[in-house]
Amino acid sequence: MSDSPSSTETLVLLLTQHQEPLFRYIFSLVPREADARDILQETSLALYRKFAEYDPARPFLPWAYRFAYLQVQKHREKSSRSPLLFSEDVMDLLASERSHIEPQLDERLRLLDACLQKLTPQDQELVTSRYAQRQSAEEMMSRFSLSRRTLFRNLELLRQRLHECVSRQLHTEGLT
């Protein structure tokens, strides 16, 4: 048995490592999360088909972004009658702007993780349930024994606290 991973194993490792940034890139170009998830799957398949052409001396993510961009364009062509699609000019502008601010977005995510750790365990669970696990309001109202009004008020307050924490950390680290 060989000690070096197969190309499929290498691709799986790279996709696993970069799945979240790749999804965020796609989701920045399409308005619906479900579409972004479908496009991520199509992108993964396209990367698998073309992985023999990948140069491992180069960063994986920019290479994957090109495939994702093409899959977004294909999706856009298939859904051209949808009123929620961006024009091609807007999509090009979003992709370009995103590539310029990607380091800042990654930094904000790092700070957001740190700020989440400062919340109480109950508040962390509330944020995680809503934004990571995507639980519905009804599920959360039942689970946390909260009224709809209290649930959304608490989530709004937590978003404000997290925004202030991230902004303060950016300022403290001189990243604003």
**pLDDT at 85 > cutoff 80:** no
If pLDDT is split at 50, 70 and 90, which confidence band does 1 have? very low
Domains of the chain: 1-85 (1.10.1740.10), 101-175 (1.10.10.10)
Helix or strand (DSSP H, E) at 90: helix 88-117
For the range 133-137, what are the long-range contacts, defined as Cβ-Cβ under 8 Å and sequence gap of 24 or more? Answer: none
Determine the average pLDDT of the residues in 25-45. 92
104-149 tens-digit pLDDT: 888 999 999 999 999 999 999 999 999 888 899 999 999 999 999 9
Give the end-to-end CA distance of the chain in Å, rounded to a whole number: 51
For residues 159 and 163, give the distance between their C-alpha atoms in angstroms, rounded to a whole number.
6
Q: Is the model's pTM score more than 0.75? A: no
